[in-house]
A and B are shown apart, each in its own frame.
Chain A
């Protein structure tokens, strides 16, 4: 099946710094990727839809200036948490779907996640 990677797998940073998380589709082209956030023992909450070559679409309540998304190529989307604060500590997961038969395929393939801890 399709493989999605994320880097780094975990990061610890100081409050006020910015952190960039990469999401890559390794063996397929992903015109659309999704970013989720997950708090401990909770479900995934969709943060934004990342579209290659255009602006991301953010879900209600997600600050676009806080969570910068760039999807510069068909295999890479990045999420930058700007001026991180302890409340941004969370598990961030990306996913991607393949494009085939003229449409985005239904199955989403998830990256392994990035655990962010802001001190």
Chain B
């Protein structure tokens, strides 16, 4: 399977703490994107990082990409209860328009 893997599978933290989740993938990519999914809902696009970029910020989000290790991390700083959701990475496979999703991390932020 081409599917990427994320760890941890589940993460529970206190409000105000930082949350870090990691994504590893298997193929060459054009870019990597992170999405959030609230229970039973569609996906919300968070951030895109291209294969020639190493780090990107957006508000409380920080994403890194290491193409040599085929891995990416998503850091959410100063987490809030509203950040409780599942987070998925998705990789755009080089030469295609297709995206392969990681296994996801279920984040729970306790108030």
Residues of A within 8 A of B (CB): 1, 4, 6, 32, 34, 36, 41-46, 49, 91, 93, 95, 97, 104, 106-113, 115
Contact = CB atoms under 8 A, between A and B. Distances in A.
Most buried by A among B35, B42, B98: B42
Chain B at the A interface: SS class: strand
Contact of B97 (A36, A49, A109, A113): A49
Interface of B: 3, 30-31, 33, 35, 40-45, 48, 88, 90, 92, 97-104, 106
A73 to B, nearest CB: 19
Contacts of A95: 43
A104 B106 contact: no
B42 A111 contact: yes
B35 A43 contact: no
